[in-house]
Structure 1
Amino acid sequence: MEVLRRPLLEAGISSRAMDLIVASCRVSTRRQYLTQIRKWEAYCTRTSTTYNSATIPDLEFLAGLHYDEGLSYSAINSTRSALSAYLNIGVGSNQLVSKFMRGVFNTNPPRPRYNITWDVGVVLTLLRSWSPMKELSLNKLTLKVVMLISLTTAQRVQTLQKLRLDKMVLIPQTVTFVVEGLLKQHRPGALGLQLEFRAYRTDATLCVVAHLHYYIQNTSIIRKMEQGLFISHKKPHHRVTGSTIARWLREVLDAAGIDTNVFKSHSTRAASTSAARAMEVPMDHVLATAGWASESSMDVVQGA
């Protein structure tokens, strides 16, 4: 990311320190920043502005994103963060910039991802019909397990993709996964995630533990040394990507009659936590399970 390194190099930062400063932004954030910084450089070229100028010209650039491009508050705020990283001058702490961002918020407040959500009961009815599990194809069994885990945990696709057999404790009535590596919700001092599933005796057709046992048993031969929980149906049966898991979730939603032009795979988080709210599950449990820091974060997704 030479774009992020250039102002640090000009400030006399050593290469080793530079590597760590750049690493403060995760790869996905750096990609997002790169797009926004290129917009800033194009603006500088058009207006003959020096790329590392003070914050006042930045306001006109940000105003263009609001008035001309119609970007949301969150998109403009992300651009502000990108400029802070790129220019290395605390754009966000400038008083005028802070007032500007409040003005953007007041005139175009953030909207929830979904104003409404789908009924979990509709998907559960479909999953019940996919039984008995011993008669399911590997494809349908995989789809069912993925959706059951997604609804039970309200976790992101990223988390589901990181589930591993060598980080799993499997006993008859409980399955526990330790999820390692950086997740979106991780912060310094708050790393590590443990997911525990307990047998659901009320309805065996929806029991995550029973279906996990059967899925692992039925993939044991084809997976060979592969430790990723979810594997491809086709050879060489490696662990699938997050985009594949997202596609699987959309397939289940589509089969249940949910409009997947409106509701994407991410909507399972909103649907499952909305159902938990309706059942009066304690809020701290809902937040901890889904990996949200606060109720306001959940409301933006759910449209509450």
Structure 2
Amino acid sequence: MIASLSKSTLKQYSVCFNQWWQYCYTNNHEKFDSSTSIIIKFLTDQYNNGASYGTINSFRSALSMLLGNDISQDKSIKRLIKGVFRSRPSLPKYANTWDPQIVLSHISKWTPHTELSLEKLTKKLVSLLALCTAHRVQTFSLIKLSNIIISDSGVKINIVDLIKTSGPGRDQPVLYLPYFNDNLDICPATTLVDYISFTKELRSTSSDHLLITVKRPHRNATAQSISRWIKQVLQESGVDAAVFSAHSARHAATALTYSAGSATQSESWPPIQEIATSDGPVQSPASQRLVARAGPPPPRHSSGTWAGPPVGAPSDGPCRLFLRYDLLPFSGDGLASEVCGLLFLPLC
């Protein structure tokens, strides 16, 4: 059973287990007593100590696994959880998002790559990956050099390690970054290729991870380090880093895609609400809240595809960035897709 939990979930549950064991010891209860009254008193104590709705819900899940009974379906406990939500509701972290163009304009000045420091080149790469793929930093920390395929058209990255959204019957994400020849200063594929060349002599011969730390000794970069780098870029670009975290890059990229819309050269893309990305279906409640911050959807062609200029439309001025999706078979209802590249459209 322990193997079914991720490290982060196990770490989260361990907090509950410690609190539960301390509560049972103090009140002379058996640790594996699954009486509803005892569980309710325990959760009530946690609430009185300032625990949030999310924490109480997490404790309920942890106790359900530990005690074996289906605590989540107990009517009294469900009523308690509902009361916690009504009296201490869990609110969204963000009510709006920021414009990716702010960050793109800032990092576009970081050229040429051969004259940048390792720290600056690394920050530019992770920022472009975050905006161009809308994946979590966990995904970036798992990119391996052996799973990167560089071709004349772009860079293909296979993610073989389990990520947060991995599950039975689900395909692992495949990231494709095409070369953006109209503006190589913000081309993620070019930046990635230059980063690999830059770090070739710095990385350990036994290291297969793409991203390494910027200070000696150059170890594999963790998700926490990548988050810190992205947040530093946000702050340097003028985004309020006190409000927005590195994870907000996913919100900004997907919200901008939704608000502006996109059309392929074959005009075969569906509206974003019908797309399920490699991180999960967009029609999920969380994703609906994400794209809702972008405002109303754009106009559509009579054929049902989004109105907009063709992919890779050249521009003499700055460009906006949009995610590009390729449709894939989906095991459930609806469609699935993989984030396979970028769509750059001129600012109007």
Question: Shorter-normalised TM-score: what interval?
Answer: 0.7 to 0.9
How many residues were matched structurally?
A: 283
SS at match of 2:135: coil
Listed one character per residue, the Cα deviations across residues 118-157 of structure 1 (whole Å, up to 9, x for unaligned) are 2212111101222233432332111111100011111111
Alignment-derived partner of residue 261 in structure 1: 242
Correspondence 1:228 to 2:206: no
Alignment-derived partner of residue 53 in structure 2: 73
Q: State the AA in 2 paired with 1:243.
A: Q
Picking from 139, 164, 174, the partner of 1:159 is: 139
**Range 180-189 or range 76-85, more displaced:** 180-189
Separation (CA, whole Å) in 2 of partners of 1:170 and 1:155: 20
The Cα of 1:209 is off from its aligned counterpart by 1.1
Q: State the AA in 2 paired with 1:185.
A: T
Q: In structure 1, list runs of 5 or more residues that go unmatched.
A: 1-20
Correspondence 1:298 to 2:278: no
Separation (CA, whole Å) in 1 of partners of 2:117 and 2:14: 44
Q: State the AA in 1 paired with 2:187.
A: C
Alignment-derived partner of residue 34 in structure 1: 14
> How well do the aligned residues superpose, as a CA RMSD in angstroms?
2.3
SS at match of 2:174: strand
Correspondence 1:88 to 2:77: no
Alignment-derived partner of residue 13 in structure 1: none
Whether the 8 Å contact between 1:253 and 1:260 is mirrored in structure 2 is yes
Whether the 8 Å contact between 1:174 and 1:196 is mirrored in structure 2 is yes
**Range 128-137 or range 79-88, more displaced:** 128-137
Listed one character per residue, the Cα deviations across residues 19-47 of structure 1 (whole Å, up to 9, x for unaligned) are xx221222221111111122122222333
Separation (CA, whole Å) in 2 of partners of 1:301 and 1:63: 32
Correspondence 1:192 to 2:181: no
Higher normalized strand content (fraction of residues): 2
- With over 3 angstroms needed to count, the CA separation of the structure-2 counterparts of 1:286 and 1:151, relative to structure 1, is farther
TM-score when normalising by structure 1:
0.84
Alignment-derived partner of residue 251 in structure 1: 232
Separation (CA, whole Å) in 1 of partners of 2:162 and 2:230: 23
TM-score when normalising by structure 2:
0.74
Separation (CA, whole Å) in 2 of partners of 1:106 and 1:280: 36
SS at match of 2:249: helix
Alignment-derived partner of residue 241 in structure 1: 222
Whether the 8 Å contact between 1:151 and 1:269 is mirrored in structure 2 is yes
Higher normalized helix content (fraction of residues): 1
Listed one character per residue, the Cα deviations across residues 163-189 of structure 1 (whole Å, up to 9, x for unaligned) are 111011111221111112221111222
The Cα of 1:297 is off from its aligned counterpart by 1.7
Whether the 8 Å contact between 2:272 and 2:282 is mirrored in structure 1 is no
Percentage of identical aligned residues: 31
- Which of 1 and 2 has higher RCO (CA within 8 Å, sep 6+)? 1
Separation (CA, whole Å) in 2 of partners of 1:285 and 1:131: 38
Alignment-derived partner of residue 8 in structure 1: none
- With over 3 angstroms needed to count, the CA separation of the structure-2 counterparts of 1:289 and 1:204, relative to structure 1, is farther
Q: State the AA in 2 paired with 1:267.
A: S
